[in-house]
Copies of this chain bind each other. A is one copy, B any other.
Amino acid sequence: MSATAELRRTVADLHRELTKYELVIWTAGNVSARVPGHDLMVIKPSGVSYDELGPDAMVVTDLYGNLVEGEFAPSSDTAAHAYVYRHMPDVNGVVHTHSPYATAWAARGEPIPCVLTMIADEFGGEIPVGPFALIGDDSIGQGIVETLRNSRSKAVLMRNHGPFTVGPTAKSAVKSAVMLEDVARTVHFALQLGKASAIDQQDVDRLYERYQNVYGQ
């Protein structure tokens, strides 16, 4: 199954971006990717150190979190990733971190207002808060899907917990996780010393449109 072999490497490599941008500590946080054309996903194993996360350590599960390939137990967040893949067919990558600034907004249950062009570019408006949900069943996955269905945002701040991001590829979801923490931090700084005015909706729309269609190669 060469598709999963290559995807295991991609997902393993993407975890390094999480540590590079200091979005995760110890073994917390995880990246997954849908296996194209299969009801399968590649995900990080549970509680394994980032230093040991080579392609061989990655696990493959079905979209109900049952182990299909791999020697380790899958991430304890597997059920949430699987739920997203089952209910959002355009999503092919999911990322979960406890990155500190985004998680601080989540702890207050406060959406990040769209006061920066970078937020309009990447998230198309304010970044929404999802419900408090316990780990162990589909609660977290449901909270993610319900929140993101009503938003252009690729990021959701799960209350008292931390952010999840989604994307058309795993790399895109990782990019959103990196940019989320960056804007969560900058807006935090801005509001510590005063107020920041929101960008007009019309301008938000133009920025989002342009960035999604013109930016990059």
How many copies altogether?
A: 4
With a CB–CB cut-off of 8 A, which chain B residues contact A187? Answer: 104, 107
| CB interface residues, A 13-56, toward B, < 8 Å | 21, 25-28, 45-48
Partner of A203 from the list B72, B108, B134 (CB cut-off 8 Å) is B134
Taken residue by residue from 174 to 200, chain A's Cβ proximity to chain B (1 for < 8 Å, 0 otherwise) reads as 010011001001111111111111010
Q: Closest CB-CB distance, A140 to chain B, in whole Å?
A: 10
A188 contacts B189, C-beta separation under 8 Å: yes
Contact assessment for A196 and B160 in the assembled complex, using a CB-CB cutoff below 8 Å? yes
CB of A122, distance to nearest CB on chain B (Å): 10
Q: What's the nearest-Cβ distance from chain B to residue A41, in Å?
A: 19
- Distance in Å: Cβ of A191 to nearest Cβ of chain B: 6
Asked if B45 contacts A189 (CB within 8 A), the reply is: no
A107: min CB distance to chain B, Å: 4
Identify the interface centre among A25, A108, A160, A210: most chain B CB within 10 Å of its CB.
A160
Rounded to whole angstroms, the CA-CA distance of A182 and B27 in the bound complex is 13
- State in angstroms the CA–CA spacing of A32 and B136 once bound together: 35
A103 contacts B by Cβ under 8 Å: yes
A84 to B89, CA, bound (A): 45
Interface residues of A (CB under 8 A from B): 21, 25-28, 45-48, 72-73, 76, 98, 100-101, 103-105, 107-110, 115-118, 132, 134-136, 160-162, 175, 178-179, 182, 185-197, 199, 203, 206-207, 210, 214-217
What are 23 A-B pairs with beta-carbon distances under 8 A?
Answer: A25-B179, A25-B182, A26-B178, A47-B216, A47-B217, A48-B217, A72-B217, A73-B216, A76-B214, A100-B182, A100-B186, A100-B189, A103-B116, A103-B186, A103-B190, A104-B190, A105-B190, A108-B190, A109-B196, A116-B162, A117-B161, A188-B192, A188-B193
| Pairs A-B, 3 closest by C-beta atoms | A47-B216, A104-B189, A107-B190
Additional A-B contact list (17), CB under 8 Å, known A101-B189, A110-B194: A25-B178, A25-B179, A26-B178, A46-B216, A47-B216, A47-B217, A48-B217, A100-B189, A104-B192, A104-B193, A107-B196, A108-B190, A108-B194, A116-B162, A134-B207, A160-B197, A188-B192
